[in-house]
Structure 1
Amino acid sequence: MAALAASWPWAGLFFLLALLAVAGADTDAGDVAALGNLYSSWNSPAQLTGWSAAGGDPCGAAWAGVTCSGTAVTSIKLSGMELNGTLGYELSSLQALKTMDLSNNFLHDSIPYQLPSNLTYLNLAKNNLSGNLPYSISTMVSLEYLNLSHNSLFQEIGELFGSLNSLSELDISFNNLTGSLPISMGSLSKVSSLYMQNNQLSGTVDVLSNLSLATLNIANNNFSGTIPQELSSIPNLIVGGNSFANMPASPPPTLTPPPKNTRDQPNHPQGPISAPIVPETPIDQDDKKLQTGPLVGIAVGSIAVGSCVLFALVFCLHKTRKRNDDASSEPKDIVGSLAVNIERASNRETPIPNNSHENAVVATSDLQPSGKMTPERVYGTNGSTAKNAKVPVTATSYTVAALQVATNSFCQDSLLGEGSLGRVYKADFPNGKVLAVKKIDSASLSLYEEENFLEVISNISRLRHPNIVPLTGYCTEHGQRLLVYEYIGNGTLHDILHFSDGMSRKLTWNTRVRIALGTARALEYLHEVCMPPVVHRSFKSSNILLDEEYSPHLSDCGLAALSPNPEREVSAEVVGSFGYSAPEFAMSGTYTTKSDVYSFGVVMLELLTGRKPLDSSRERSEQSLVRWATPQLHDIDLLAKMVDPAMDGLYPAKSLSRFADIIAICVQSEPEFRPPMSEVVQQLVRLMQRASIIRRQSDDLGYSYRVPEGGTGDAI
């Protein structure tokens, strides 16, 4: 026993040393990369002490707002830190993260569609975030608290809640969300507080009938039908500002106190559904008679005056319409303007977040989704967009004159490129902003496509992803069809690989993998996040733009809706056999998301070999890149000979083999055997994570291994 007692101090010392070793250990490489990406996306704010975009040890060095367990980051709390930027694209690497609070900042753009999967608490309230609710929320089965309120989120909510059995509080209030409530919302078995007020949600609320709620706020939406009887037992129920058939009567305006701004108190209901009770005071019977007479007189007089005004208004409208019908000059859309004014007057005023874009919110509040558009509703008499169009276009409307000035009248010197729909010009605006303008050739649009132009650009303007070139504006004035995009100034991947002297040497192996991953994420977003899925149909290296850091940005997303029918675009026989298009397109003319996957595999082959998909200058057996390369992808010796000479042999052999495996499954001839883009993304992420470990060990982000002469090497 004495010997055992004597050994206890040493055991305690060893235990303490073990704890110190864990505490001093380097943070997980994936976590470091994710935080570094966040820091860069926030433009390296000085208030985040300890943070760095070039690696480091967040756990050991105690970065501001970061909490760890061992070597893994478990919490990020940076509320009210005046952060300005985006949420990056590597949040999903934070596998141990449980809590993330980035509320009360100035974060913008869309919420990343890949979020940390093990979160229990997520608060992104009071920012400037736009886009839709990311699909990855549906996989966060441990989530208990979710607050996305006071942003500019739009589109439908989506079926996200079927597996969120732990969620107790959900706040998506003060956004621009549309559509009906998803059926999966009825599966939130543990939710007690639900805030959806001040959106543009519609339909019934029957899916909420069986929830055990203590608080439900659905005020100021477009809900209709009846309020289910089951909801009447909810202690804090707020439903005002909707169109329910059994809505309780609203109290007189003078008795209703002004609503509090829930932006400052997002988790407190605005009050019960019933009107406030006004205490009765005893009134003398003679006083009642004295008060009744004036009230009746006021009521009768108001009705008479209102009737006269209504009669005069109808008479004026009738005379105006008759005069316009008889006139030979161009008619004016007086009725349309009146309808817009009435619609705007009837819109509820929604409190606007202090740090949100007021103009953007106001612009979208006047526009409601509608069915199929007709030319009379979409276009005014001079070919410009009518102001009463019902399409919710979030992009900026430009005049032809402004775009002519910015492009120097679309001169040859401003020309950036040309595609099947028209030419693209560089636009330099007087305020110093540089954009890209795609001038669509009207001959390439059918009558139907012209009529639905606004609907198409409305859908395109909603595509928000860090690897997709965003549509920022449009012009339909005087019959023109122009699209305005952000300008990405480092050229296309196609030009850098095939036409630039020496530029392809800057595309290191790690850079090429990063380009593949970025474009794969863009396609994954189009195919698996957007509802309905978006088929690119023109995925190729010339549509991948690179910025100064060689990050990829996919262009022409959503333009397939404007493109001519693929069967009459080019010869199906040629395109199906060579180039980027999949074999099924040659056989049947069909093009699906799996066809995009094939095209992605061809672009990966370009990155691997530096060759064009179709090169008639080579000998016949090597003209088609896919036919030439596919048989060699699983032979390590032949694979090494295929690598782009511009890389000068600097690449990890194991990583090269995995890269080739991904290519092989993407370019399979049978569409059903090609993987979904989410699977491709995961394989590329794993490849990048292994590369991060190597870079961390070498302390050089641009490091690559030269393949030994034996051919295989021992790198990743």
Structure 2
Amino acid sequence: MKGYLGGKDLEDKELRAQLQTCYFTLSQIKAATNNFDHASKIGEGGFGPVYKGVLSDGAVIAVKQLSAKSKQGNREFVNEIGMISALQHPNLVRLYGCCIEGNQLLLIYEYMENNSLARALFGRPEHQLNLDWPTRKKICVGIARGLAYLHEESRLKIVHRDIKATNVLLDKDLNAKISDFGLAKLDEEENTHISTRIAGTIGYMAPEYAMRGYLTDKADVYSFGVVALEIVSGKCNTNYRPKEDFVYLLDWAYVLQEQGNLLELVDPVLGTNYPEEEAMRMLNLSLLCTNPSPSLRPSMSSVENMLEGKSPIQAPIIKRSSLNEDMRFKAFEKLSQDSQTHVSTTFSQESQVQRSISSMDGPWIDSSNSIKSGNETGDYSSSKKLVPDLYDVHLD
């Protein structure tokens, strides 16, 4: 059987033989999703819709239907799937396998019963979850452990690049699992005049990455700090502005830290049902992780130890007045025309910004780039989602 994938004819059977992960037939997936019935649809990602399915053995799955317009070479697609499926950790959404048949490109994931952290915190009232303090702490620790695995423990040193509440999914026991690492290359357009791009979500991007394209694991640490602040406060970083002269929730947090009133940020829903010492620990850790200087941010394994009280947290007090000219605020000013959109910044060869992906221990891999991305390029429009959510939930 021949199909048309990535703009090239190929033998499906030959391609499937290269897979290092479980292969599902199209008939299996159609049966599981009732032929991709609209009632089975649970989200719409940047690459296409996501469906809930039930296999013949009763296993519940999430099926991401990739866009047929993907132009990535099929062998690179197979390599990418193999890389993603090899990354297995309790705090990562597991990729079970894929289906490559005819003109279909499907990814099959474990199903997450409680959808995204964003919906649990900021969704419609009927979708929000009553997260008590122990659960919020468990979610924070889970995210930290997942990132520590990607950064330090996995065979590949991977930078996620788009950590945010919509990319953290919750299972039936409200355990946090990170989604959407390693997928953006699957939708890359064939353009050769662009040498560098920046992708992420405004309000979560580290300033050095947003402004200079400098990418290390510390960019994920920054994003984690923002998400941790959202978990404690129950407020979305990009939607909360107590006063007009504050950029984001994080901006207000710096002011309250300077005033010694950080606990004002704790979600009122919790009432007094939280340990103040732990709340202060998590808030100070959020500010430490979002330090404007990447060298002053801790590693994710250190973050995990701090969350669990195994090591002290010393978050420096950064006065907002000293940040007015800081590149973090310049980055916000430059990028925040629409704080709810994804960012895709491209640079021509005349104005290249060389992105640095480096580590003391080894090469860092951008989670949206394939292993063979050394001389590959991509061109994206600002309206295009680069690292879409597994369940792309509309919160309003």
Shared fold, TM over 0.5: yes
**Please, what TM-score do these two structures have when normalized by structure 2?**
0.69
User: 1:615–1:623: 8 Å Cα contact kept in structure 2?
Assistant: no
User: 1:543–1:556: 8 Å Cα contact kept in structure 2?
Assistant: yes
| Rounded Cα–Cα distance in structure 2 between residues aligned with 1:618 and 1:421 | 35
Report the CA distance shift for 1:619/1:632 in structure 2 as closer, same or farther (over 3 A).
closer
Report the CA distance shift for 1:675/1:645 in structure 2 as closer, same or farther (over 3 A).
same
Q: How many residues align?
A: 305
The Cα of 1:409 is off from its aligned counterpart by 2.5
Percent identity at matched positions?
35
Offset from partner CA, 1:640-684 (integer Å, 9 cap, x none)? 221111112321111111111211111112222211111101111
User: 1:385–1:476: 8 Å Cα contact kept in structure 2?
Assistant: no
For residues 230-269 of structure 1, the aligned pairs below 5 Å read none
Q: Which residue of the partner structure matches residue 447 of structure 1? A: 72
Report the CA distance shift for 1:622/1:563 in structure 2 as closer, same or farther (over 3 A).
farther
Q: Which residue of the partner structure matches residue 101 of structure 2? A: 477
User: 2:241–2:249: 8 Å Cα contact kept in structure 1?
Assistant: no
| Rounded Cα–Cα distance in structure 2 between residues aligned with 1:593 and 1:435 | 30
Report the CA distance shift for 1:497/1:381 in structure 2 as closer, same or farther (over 3 A).
same
The Cα of 1:457 is off from its aligned counterpart by 0.7
Report the CA distance shift for 1:590/1:384 in structure 2 as closer, same or farther (over 3 A).
farther
Q: Which runs of 5+ in 1 are unaligned?
A: 1-329, 332-374, 689-716
| Rounded Cα–Cα distance in structure 2 between residues aligned with 1:662 and 1:470 | 28
For residue 271 of structure 2, the aligned residue among 648, 663, 688 is 648
The one-letter amino acid of 2:274's match is: Y
Offset from partner CA, 1:490-526 (integer Å, 9 cap, x none)? 1211001011427756211121111000110000000
User: Is 2:219 the partner of 1:591?
Assistant: no
User: Is 2:14 the partner of 1:402?
Assistant: no
The Cα of 1:410 is off from its aligned counterpart by 2.1
Q: Which residue of the partner structure matches residue 289 of structure 2? A: 666
Q: Which residue of the partner structure matches residue 173 of structure 1? A: none
User: 1:633–1:660: 8 Å Cα contact kept in structure 2?
Assistant: no
For residues 355-394 of structure 1, the aligned pairs below 5 Å read 384-386=12-14, 389-390=17-18, 393=20
Offset from partner CA, 1:446-476 (integer Å, 9 cap, x none)? 434x440100110111111111111111011
The Cα of 1:625 is off from its aligned counterpart by 2.1
The one-letter amino acid of 2:288's match is: I
Q: Which residue of the partner structure matches residue 298 of structure 2? A: 675
User: 2:72–2:188: 8 Å Cα contact kept in structure 1?
Assistant: no
For residues 513-524 of structure 1, the aligned pairs below 5 Å read 513-524=137-148
For residue 63 of structure 2, the aligned residue among 433, 437, 456 is 437
Offset from partner CA, 1:265-301 (integer Å, 9 cap, x none)? xxxxxxxxxxxxxxxxxxxxxxxxxxxxxxxxxxxxx
The Cα of 1:533 is off from its aligned counterpart by 0.4
The one-letter amino acid of 1:598's match is: Y
Q: Which residue of the partner structure matches residue 628 of structure 1? A: 252
Which secondary structure state, in structure 1, belongs to the residue aligned with residue 14 of structure 2?
Answer: coil
The one-letter amino acid of 2:67's match is: D
The Cα of 1:556 is off from its aligned counterpart by 1.5
Report the CA distance shift for 1:379/1:396 in structure 2 as closer, same or farther (over 3 A).
farther
The Cα of 1:401 is off from its aligned counterpart by 2.3
Offset from partner CA, 1:25-81 (integer Å, 9 cap, x none)? xxxxxxxxxxxxxxxxxxxxxxxxxxxxxxxxxxxxxxxxxxxxxxxxxxxxxxxxx
For residues 484-499 of structure 1, the aligned pairs below 5 Å read 484-499=108-123
The Cα of 1:414 is off from its aligned counterpart by 1.4
User: 1:493–1:545: 8 Å Cα contact kept in structure 2?
Assistant: yes
| Rounded Cα–Cα distance in structure 1 between residues aligned with 2:270 and 2:187 | 37
Which secondary structure state, in structure 2, belongs to the residue aligned with residue 437 of structure 1?
Answer: strand
| Rounded Cα–Cα distance in structure 2 between residues aligned with 1:600 and 1:545 | 14
Structure with higher RCO (Cα < 8 A, 6+ apart): 2
User: 1:536–1:560: 8 Å Cα contact kept in structure 2?
Assistant: no
The Cα of 1:631 is off from its aligned counterpart by 2.9
User: 1:634–1:661: 8 Å Cα contact kept in structure 2?
Assistant: no
Q: Which residue of the partner structure matches residue 162 of structure 2? A: 538
Which secondary structure state, in structure 2, belongs to the residue aligned with residue 417 of structure 1?
Answer: strand
Give 1 or 2 for the bigger CA radius of gyration: 1
Report the CA distance shift for 1:563/1:610 in structure 2 as closer, same or farther (over 3 A).
farther
User: 1:505–1:646: 8 Å Cα contact kept in structure 2?
Assistant: no
**Please, what TM-score do these two structures have when normalized by structure 1?**
0.39
The Cα of 1:382 is off from its aligned counterpart by 5.0
The one-letter amino acid of 1:539's match is: I
The one-letter amino acid of 1:425's match is: Y
Which secondary structure state, in structure 1, belongs to the residue aligned with residue 102 of structure 2?
Answer: helix
User: Is 2:231 the partner of 1:603?
Assistant: no
Which secondary structure state, in structure 1, belongs to the residue aligned with residue 226 of structure 2?
Answer: helix
| Rounded Cα–Cα distance in structure 2 between residues aligned with 1:579 and 1:429 | 38
| Rounded Cα–Cα distance in structure 2 between residues aligned with 1:476 and 1:681 | 38
CA RMSD of aligned residues (A): 3.2
| Rounded Cα–Cα distance in structure 1 between residues aligned with 2:164 and 2:104 | 27
| Rounded Cα–Cα distance in structure 2 between residues aligned with 1:640 and 1:563 | 43
Report the CA distance shift for 1:390/1:649 in structure 2 as closer, same or farther (over 3 A).
same
The one-letter amino acid of 2:115's match is: G
Report the CA distance shift for 1:652/1:590 in structure 2 as closer, same or farther (over 3 A).
same
Which secondary structure state, in structure 1, belongs to the residue aligned with residue 255 of structure 2?
Answer: helix
The Cα of 1:485 is off from its aligned counterpart by 0.6
The Cα of 1:590 is off from its aligned counterpart by 3.9
Report the CA distance shift for 1:400/1:618 in structure 2 as closer, same or farther (over 3 A).
farther
Q: Which residue of the partner structure matches residue 177 of structure 2? A: 553
Offset from partner CA, 1:550-596 (integer Å, 9 cap, x none)? 1111111332443649xx9xx969x67x4211112221234331111
Q: Which runs of 5+ in 2 are unaligned?
A: 312-396
User: 1:585–1:591: 8 Å Cα contact kept in structure 2?
Assistant: yes
